[in-house]
Structure 1
Amino acid sequence: MRRELVTWSLVLGLIIAAFATTVIVLNSTIYSSSGFVRSYLGALARHDMSAALEIADIYLPEEHGAASDDGSGATPIDTTGAGTLLLAGSHELLRPSALSSLDDIAVVDSVTNADGTETVTFMFELDGRSAQSTFTVTRAGANFGVFAEWDFVTPPLTIVRLTVANAQEFDANGSEFVAPSQDVPSPYVVLTPSSFDITHKSTFLKADPIVVSATEPGGTVRARLDVVANEAMIAQVQREVNDSLDECATQVVLLPTGCPFGQPMANRIVTTPEWSIAEYPPVSLSPGSQPASWEMPATDGAAHLRVDVRSIFDGSVSTFDQNVGFSSSYLVTFLADDKLLITAQYPR
């Protein structure tokens, strides 16, 4: 009996020792501060938005829910520590399809602070570009009384203040969005780390892509997307301006009505005035004073006039055969179905 008791005592001791060793190993790996942050980053890498929000203890109220790809929204639970930051901006970019690629995740530093919190730094490939983020976490109790639980001291969120100049629509990582207004910084809440390739491409407008990276929790990133008229828009306005001037040139008067050119004369005309366009004003477009409008500034062109005239002094007849310079400007606005309204602005 004593021998069996000793044997069972040794077995129990080994089990307890093995369990204690397991607890120590797990608390230094999976349940460590770096393991906690790694699990969050892993959810981002998988584009598992729900898991990332849950790990980070971020819950959105229903009316401010993160945009899901099926339009269903996010968990309708308010947040405590993170709520104020979340409500400081739009959650439109909190969409799985807009998440970045996150690869080669590796911890590079872990420091225990004087207040008991721990600061962990990770490096990774964010959309193919090397980057790093630093997170501070704190103990939040223990699972089953033995496995460490952690919380982020600063929620892993960044505010992106994006200005879309001269338009409201933009693409971020291939998903389409509409800013609340153009030319005004709009705040968007994004998970940290995130990277967004932002651009604009439509029938008549374009923008050089910009890259917006958010790698510091609690920080603010400012970005501006400049939308300009594209080649198709300039070409169409040029065609319509040319057509309008050609139409003006069909008028057989010295001062064509509603046209930017004309030639007053003191002498009497003998033949019918013949107009042609010698030089069309080259079209360039800049943003107008009103949203969704574009302006062609006053630009020089030249018309050609040929007409015989009789001098009122001596009755001699001569031919006026030369270019007549003019300047014209236009206002361009968008209509439905990708059409343009081009309005002449030259004084007459």
Structure 2
Amino acid sequence: MKQPSTTRARRRLRFDLTALAVVGVLLIGALGASVSVLYTEFYGPSAFVTRYLDLLATGRAADALHVPGVSIDRTVLEESDIDETASEALLREAALAPLTEIDVVSEEADGEIFSVTVAYLAGGHRGSTTFQVQQDGWAGVTPNWRFAQSPLAAVSLSVLGADRFAVNGFEVHRAQVSAAGVAAEGADPLPMLVFTPGLYSVTVDTAIATSPGVSVLADSPLAQTSVELQTEPTEEFVSVVQTRVEEFLTECTTQQVLQPTACPFGLEVRNRILDPPVWSISQQPEVTVHPDGAQWKIPPTEAVAHIEVDIRSLFDGSVEHVSEDVPFRVDGTITILPDGSASIRVGSPGA
């Protein structure tokens, strides 16, 4: 009579054990999924790269430089075809552009190296970059990571016509970032290290030169991008050059000789002058300023001088009063000096 009751108890026990096993499996699965999510979100290669990008996005350049694998030695620069003298002036908060909409696209393993591809919006420009990451020991039960390839890159910048420029609004002087210092030539490229990813906009706005600028998206680690920026003269600069040329020509008229020394005009006569000639400028040139490599030039421009002089004929002794316009052309070169001033040299006949 008690046998059916015993059978039911055994069946219930088997059911309970089975239910417990299923619950256990589900719990283990949930725990595994949770660990996987935690690993991906907080402890994996993608999380490591995301933290680095978050530092750039919040302007924490100094902290980003301390992320393992970011700092780079000069030997690696040379091996990557980056100038080993590249300046670190742009590795700062003031030179960073906005970085938003950071999103991990993929994570792929190749042996010990993980390739993490991230999409983003850098200064309004969409881009993507792949970073190389490897494990760097453990912190308790969680892995540490480092960049297997530094995320730094370089911009080799040539600014023609100006020694002072701005990168993302950060003011830079050529002498500050050139290995040659104050001896840097105006046409010499200026290699500068930059963070990737990042948009770097170069502009010029000085009393002498201006430019709407040029932008470069640094999206490839350990790559060097060459950028050339040709400036244009400001109206203020052209006005100053016009004034200096007029002053030079006016000074030439004070020489009471037929051929003023180092001046672009003169008059040849075969007879004898009675009194020193009197020069004036009847038409000043309309000066323009054009780029000339790293410097500036004054293209040949028409002008007119006027001479008043009495000439005695060697043949019959007669005297003729000459009042004559003398057309000439004036050109010149302009050199920007290390202190930012301009040296203007007006061309002479035959120059």
TM-score, normalising length from structure 2? 0.74
User: Is the 1:110–1:118 contact (alpha carbons within 8 Å) kept by the matching residues of 2?
Assistant: no
Give the one of 90, 93, 107 matched to 2:90. Answer: 93
Aligned pair 1:127/2:127, yes or no? Answer: no
Report the alpha carbon displacement of residue 335 of structure 1 after superposing the two structures with TM: 6.4
User: Is the 1:27–1:148 contact (alpha carbons within 8 Å) kept by the matching residues of 2?
Assistant: no
* CA deviation string 1:38-86 (max 9, x = no partner): 221111100112332333433478xx9xxxxxxxxxxxxxxx9899879
Aligned pair 1:32/2:44, yes or no? Answer: yes
1:184 equivalent in structure 2: 188
User: Is the 1:168–1:179 contact (alpha carbons within 8 Å) kept by the matching residues of 2?
Assistant: no
Distance verdict in 2 for CA 1:341–1:30, change over 3 Å: same
Which runs of structure 2 are paired with 1:84-163 in the superposition (5 Å)?
A: 88=84, 89-107=86-104, 109-115=105-111, 117-145=113-141, 147-163=142-158
Report the alpha carbon displacement of residue 214 of structure 1 after superposing the two structures with TM: 0.6
Distance verdict in 2 for CA 1:27–1:87, change over 3 Å: farther
Report the alpha carbon displacement of residue 127 of structure 1 after superposing the two structures with TM: 0.8
**Alignment partner of 1:171: what SS?**
strand
Counterpart AA for 1:189 = L
Bigger CA drift: 218-227 or 301-310? 301-310
1:67 equivalent in structure 2: none
Report the alpha carbon displacement of residue 165 of structure 1 after superposing the two structures with TM: 3.1
Identity %: 33
Report the alpha carbon displacement of residue 200 of structure 1 after superposing the two structures with TM: 2.6
* CA deviation string 1:292-348 (max 9, x = no partner): x65435544221234455555566665544421223344444569765443444159
Counterpart AA for 1:150 = W
User: Is the 1:56–1:156 contact (alpha carbons within 8 Å) kept by the matching residues of 2?
Assistant: no
Which protein has the bigger helix share? Answer: 2
Structure 2 unaligned segments of length 5 or more: list them. 1-16, 179-183
* CA deviation string 1:143-176 (max 9, x = no partner): 432x444332322111222223344433111112
Aligned pair 1:210/2:205, yes or no? Answer: no
Counterpart AA for 1:136 = Q
Aligned pair 1:323/2:319, yes or no? Answer: no
Counterpart AA for 2:49 = V
User: Is the 1:161–1:185 contact (alpha carbons within 8 Å) kept by the matching residues of 2?
Assistant: yes
Give the one of 55, 59, 67 matched to 1:43. Answer: 55
Count residues in correspondence. Answer: 319
Distance verdict in 2 for CA 1:340–1:142, change over 3 Å: closer
Report the alpha carbon displacement of residue 112 of structure 1 after superposing the two structures with TM: 2.4
1:3 equivalent in structure 2: none
**Alignment partner of 1:255: what SS?**
coil
Give, in whole Å, the separation in 2 of the partners of 1:277 and 1:82.
59
**Alignment partner of 1:55: what SS?**
coil
Give, in whole Å, the separation in 1 of the partners of 2:289 and 2:260.
26
Give, in whole Å, the separation in 1 of the partners of 2:249 and 2:289.
18
Bigger CA drift: 267-276 or 161-170? 267-276
Distance verdict in 2 for CA 1:131–1:281, change over 3 Å: same
Report the alpha carbon displacement of residue 98 of structure 1 after superposing the two structures with TM: 0.8
* CA deviation string 1:8-54 (max 9, x = no partner): x99xx798776544322211323333222222111110011233233
Distance verdict in 2 for CA 1:130–1:59, change over 3 Å: closer
Bigger CA drift: 274-283 or 307-316? 307-316
Which runs of structure 2 are paired with 1:138-287 in the superposition (5 Å)?
A: 138-145=134-141, 147-177=142-172, 178-180=176-178, 181-182=184-185, 183-268=187-272, 273-285=277-289
User: Is the 1:102–1:126 contact (alpha carbons within 8 Å) kept by the matching residues of 2?
Assistant: yes
Greater radius of gyration (CA): 2
TM-score, normalising length from structure 1? 0.74
Bigger CA drift: 266-275 or 302-311? 266-275
Distance verdict in 2 for CA 1:83–1:55, change over 3 Å: farther
Distance verdict in 2 for CA 1:271–1:220, change over 3 Å: closer
Counterpart AA for 1:126 = A
Provide the aligned C-alpha RMSD in A.
Answer: 3.9
**Alignment partner of 2:264: what SS?**
coil
User: Is the 2:154–2:194 contact (alpha carbons within 8 Å) kept by the matching residues of 1?
Assistant: yes
Distance verdict in 2 for CA 1:142–1:87, change over 3 Å: farther
User: Is the 1:170–1:179 contact (alpha carbons within 8 Å) kept by the matching residues of 2?
Assistant: no
Report the alpha carbon displacement of residue 204 of structure 1 after superposing the two structures with TM: 2.1
**Alignment partner of 2:43: what SS?**
coil
Distance verdict in 2 for CA 1:163–1:342, change over 3 Å: closer
Give, in whole Å, the separation in 2 of the partners of 1:347 and 1:214.
50
User: Is the 2:69–2:149 contact (alpha carbons within 8 Å) kept by the matching residues of 1?
Assistant: no
